[in-house]
A and B are shown apart, each in its own frame.
Chain A
């Protein structure tokens, strides 16, 4: 087991990537480590029809055309901007793409209100500058610049959180594909090597905070990742991530499949309720994304595991769901209360099973929080 709390995708799936590289005989663009088809295979998993000797697991769940469009964009000379609601797997897809294409998914700039142009281009090691003057040695390249130098994929998380002038520093990087360092007299241009591209992610709920300039928009291809509403694929995602979590924590806990159904159904109900609500007060603050579902389950599993249960119970799941979703008091609690009494209660009468425990646990949790 890796001694990293969370290993990046290229480390975690190193063995799979090595194997894929060894069997890949299709043409590869630029300095890509895998051909586009293999990148897709790595991300979406293999099937019998692919005729491979081993099975490649599916790592990202969603419409295959999104993955194809993303890969093709990276093979063209435009950057890729993944846009979508929080928790739809944008960053995970970005990480998988850069791990598969360039075996390095760690060249990441995190966009925040405090991100400056230095974080995108380069900054200086002040003490070295004082001691030896400005030179390439005293320069600290940003992850993006490192990606340019190595001809690999650089990532920019939450692009729209950083201010517009900082975002615009990307324009020249994406079009001219070089960064000049005017402070130096010679060797003052860093050219991007073939294979360099940028995957940025942006949260569609942040729209309007720092709008992208049209010039920058032009240099990115947008791929919109929708919230997964297909129950089957959502179940897959939750199962996949839960197994991973259990493995990571060495937890031996049984997760009954009926509980997964309860979780998926309750999220589907709450989403439907949110969609039909007319004002923000009638809508849960949470985006009710798949990631949120995983969070709820993870929380319930950890809680059950560390507080001595051998099996995940419906009560624990309900408590965790209420705890995660009730962010505003009283609005969110009122919605959950309404849901519990209007939907869960009749359902527990009809179907009993896990729903009865779910009803009880939820009631208690709501009562505690109220």
Chain B
């Protein structure tokens, strides 16, 4: 049987001969692409080649479905996604089908969670097929591509490139994308060459100009032959030794094996079936390809034990573009072209019943199928011989764009005027002319608009390029309908219903909860706090109100942005059935994480008390905290541990009659643990002063409780005695500890500080001592007056070269630990220093005032009592001699014994005053 393509084949071969200096493989490639088309057309099961996001494919599909009305449709899409398709009618497109696995088996654990998404847009051939198949009785739709599990089995490295995308582009998270009809040159040089000679900037534009537009109105045969030919060309030019190529071939084997299985099982006639696949796969010549019985089958490996969960997540045009490396705006432009072509060709697209968004059209019964199966004729020569037949200049459309872009630009802060609209129009036409086309493409228009409107700065949030994208289609963001949501997400929406807000709207909703007036809103508040913990920051944000142990609010206000974070809620749904369950899992996971510390376990305890009110869980987490604390060998987290346990103990004391047992164990365990570690941490250079301070804080703060629970104070005393720190800050801390233990009186402490300040060799280290004392406020709060005194002295007496470099450190320390230290310090300082300006003049620091007034040189000093005083008083000569030697003239006055008490005693001792008063009175 002669092929209808024989003349074309001959023609191409002679062309290959003419280019004799071309590569040797040229004749094979040129003849091969014709043979591939011929081969594909001979297949009794009709293969329908498609390309992703191609309106031409969608149009051809729409027309073919109406004509042929197949009974079975095989679709190149992961087979395990099939149950999701029926949920599509609850959603507003674009949405993505998602398969998600967090508990992996036979995959490397570190690659969890695995996620695969397949986005579905309205302007796609696959959506037309899905809608037709689901809404037409008696038609079955069979997904035949490898399962999502195989996607990862066949992909050695599941990590996807990590970039930080725009919020709209991040709708898919870091999932692996699968798409029907990926058709793009597989090596960069070919693509570059095509772009260069097509005088276009990116692939979508080339495709639009050379394939989309010529095929938009083409008949089925031309469409099918041309698409298969392009698929074949790219296939033949793809590097055949790549992993990707091998995986593509395996997929073809897989799909055909599944098709044959289905045909055999159902006995369907291949003539009533339609196989929709990417053009790349349509041109396959593998031995396993074909519907004929007896074709060798592909051995399908079993799936791994990984449990896959399925759901729909919202998607958007920009997310699809970002995921599949398409030019920004290309999917939007494809959607706009689809709508335009539908109008022009007066076609009614298939749409799922009850589909949200899109135009509602009355459903009409399909006309009877009108398939004419004539002999295959050559439609390729016509396509290849002529230049692409492009639409003529649509002046009306271009003018509309120009006016709209200027309006949009003005609204976005540009100084654009009608003159700019005219200039954009002119420039678009000139640019298109220069690039060899009569009709400016959307991309020419975009270039022209940027040239004429964009100046040196972008006044608003969006530049002209982005505005053009918005104008030419605009990003569309899909939404998953309530019924298609996982139980957890539905539960969230149900439980938040009393708020009376439209949570599906993609904008921030302000929720005001007056809990005093409407106590029924309390569960909503509780749920919001849980979501706050589980979802990313922007999803739910409290504006007023906080949740802390022991606090109860009467009013709260929230900013809810659940519409834009639908994906995260849906993905939460893969973890459990209710928010509480997920939260419990997360808390457990945090506490039992290999890197968990006592502080993080205490945090989990606190959260469990705040959000879950489950004493059993709290008890378990608390026990875990005890376990973690005793296993810890460092005290890096001591400040956090102290803060948290203090708060928890305070809460329990206020609310429960007895402490829970884990708390008691934590305190006694912690007391022993920290006592043991104290000597080493005092010496260890890597342990900071703050950590040691916090340890001491724990030991002194919990002391009474620990002692009542059976701990021994000697343990602490010995530990302190064993500590021999070297760094000045820790020495100061140790002094404070000893003072607390009653080992070092305040007077001695003061003396030591004075010595430090008086010794010029130690002065440079004084700031460190002071820092140590500041940290000592935590364990020994009653030292506050002394710390204020020390700081004041340091400020007063330290030389500037020592003082000034230290000040910033002091300030930053105080700032960082503001919550713990500053209130104590400022309160004490406020008590010490005068509050008014006038009081300053007469103010004497209390530490100076406390000392006995210094006697003047001539004045008689009160001798201290005791035997020494008596002795000196008895023999004044020696004292006088010493005084003279020291340059203090005067006579030693024998002590006047001041009786212990009474005004009269005073008057007796100093009679002069009384005498003077008496004289005054008598006079």
User: Which residues from chain A sit less than 8 Å from chain B, CB to CB?
Assistant: 36-37, 40, 47, 49, 64-65, 68-69, 71-73, 75-76, 78, 83, 202, 204, 207, 212, 214, 217-218, 221-224
Contacts and interface: CB of A to CB of B under 8 A. Distances in A.
Given A72-B448, A218-B417, A222-B456, 15 more contacts: A36-B433, A36-B434, A40-B434, A65-B201, A69-B450, A69-B451, A72-B451, A76-B426, A83-B456, A204-B456, A207-B457, A218-B415, A218-B419, A222-B451, A222-B455
A36 B415 CA distance: 29
A37 B426 contact: no
A63 to B, nearest CB: 8
Contacts of B196: 47
Interface in B399-440: 415, 417, 419-420, 423, 426-427, 430-431, 433-435
A64 B423 CA distance: 21
A78 B426 CA distance: 11
A230 B794 CA distance: 60
Contact of A221 (B415, B417, B452, B457): B452
B828 interface: no
Contact of A72 (B197, B430, B454, B455): B430
A68 B456 contact: no
Interface string B633-672: 0000000000000000000000000000000000000000
Contacts of B417: 218
B427 A72 contact: yes
B447 interface: yes
Interface residues of B, number: 25
Residue among B199, B423, B434 with the highest chain A CB neighbour number at 10 A: B434
A69 B431 contact: yes
A212 B457 CA distance: 12
Contact of B434 (A68, A207, A217, A221): A68
State the 10 A-B residue pairs at the shortest beta-carbon distance, nearest first: A72-B430, A69-B451, A221-B451, A217-B455, A36-B434, A72-B431, A222-B455, A76-B426, A72-B427, A214-B415
B294 to A, nearest CB: 48
Contact of A68 (B419, B435, B454): B435
**Interface-central residue, A71, A218, A223, by most chain B CB under 10 Å:** A218
B423 A69 contact: no
B455 A69 contact: no
Contacts of A68: 431, 434-435, 447
A69 B415 contact: no
A71 B434 contact: yes
A212 B415 CA distance: 13
A78 B415 contact: no
A69 B434 CA distance: 10
Interface of B: 196-197, 199, 201, 415, 417, 419-420, 423, 426-427, 430-431, 433-435, 447-448, 450-452, 454-457
Contacts of A37: 434
Nearest to B443: A65
A36 B423 CA distance: 17
Given A204-B456, A218-B415, A222-B455, A75 B430 contact: yes
Contacts of A49: 197
A75 B427 CA distance: 9
Contacts, number: 61
A217 B417 CA distance: 12
A252 B435 CA distance: 41
A217 B415 contact: yes
Nearest to B197: A49
A283 to B, nearest CB: 22
Contact of B430 (A36, A204, A218): A36
Q: Which of B196, B199, B420, B431 has the most CB of A within 10 A?
A: B431
A340 B520 CA distance: 68
B451 A223 contact: yes
Nearest to B415: A214
Contacts of B199: 64
Contacts of A36: 430, 433-434
A207 B196 CA distance: 34
Nearest to A207: B456
Given A69-B447, A218-B415, A218-B419, A76 B430 contact: yes
B391 to A, nearest CB: 21
Nearest to A71: B434
Contacts of B456: 83, 202, 204, 207, 212, 217, 222, 224
Contacts of B427: 69, 72-73, 76, 221
Nearest to B428: A72
Contact of B452 (A75, A78, A207): A78
B86 to A, nearest CB: 46
Contacts of B430: 36, 72, 75-76
Contacts of A75: 430
A194 to B, nearest CB: 15
A206 to B, nearest CB: 11
A224 B453 CA distance: 12
15 contacts: A36-B433, A36-B434, A40-B434, A49-B197, A68-B435, A69-B431, A76-B430, A78-B423, A204-B456, A207-B457, A212-B456, A221-B423, A221-B451, A221-B452, A224-B454
A65 B432 CA distance: 11
A138 B740 CA distance: 101
Contacts of A71: 434
A69 B454 CA distance: 12
Contacts of B447: 65, 68-69
A177 B506 CA distance: 51
A223 B448 CA distance: 11
A36 B433 CA distance: 9
A38 B448 CA distance: 20
Contact of A76 (B415, B423, B433): B423
Nearest to A80: B451
A75 B782 CA distance: 85
A64 B200 CA distance: 10
A41 to B, nearest CB: 11
Contacts of B448: 69, 72
B423 A72 contact: no
Contacts of A47: 196
A270 B261 CA distance: 60
A159 B197 CA distance: 36
Nearest to B416: A218
B531 to A, nearest CB: 36
A317 B911 CA distance: 101
Contact of A222 (B426, B431, B433, B454): B454
Nearest to A67: B434
Contacts of A76: 423, 426-427, 430
A346 to B, nearest CB: 25
A218 to B, nearest CB: 7
Contacts of A83: 456
Chain A CB count within 10 A is highest, among B197, B199, B450, B455, for B455
A207 B455 CA distance: 12
A221 B431 CA distance: 14
A47 B199 CA distance: 13
Contacts of B450: 69
Contacts of A204: 456
A55 to B, nearest CB: 16
A88 to B, nearest CB: 15
A233 to B, nearest CB: 12
B806 to A, nearest CB: 26
B434 A72 contact: yes
Contacts of B454: 222, 224
Contacts of B455: 217, 222
A212 B417 CA distance: 18
A156 to B, nearest CB: 16
Nearest to B420: A218
A65 B427 CA distance: 13
A223 B435 CA distance: 18
Contacts of A222: 451, 454-456
Nearest to A63: B201
A73 B426 CA distance: 9
A40 B435 CA distance: 10
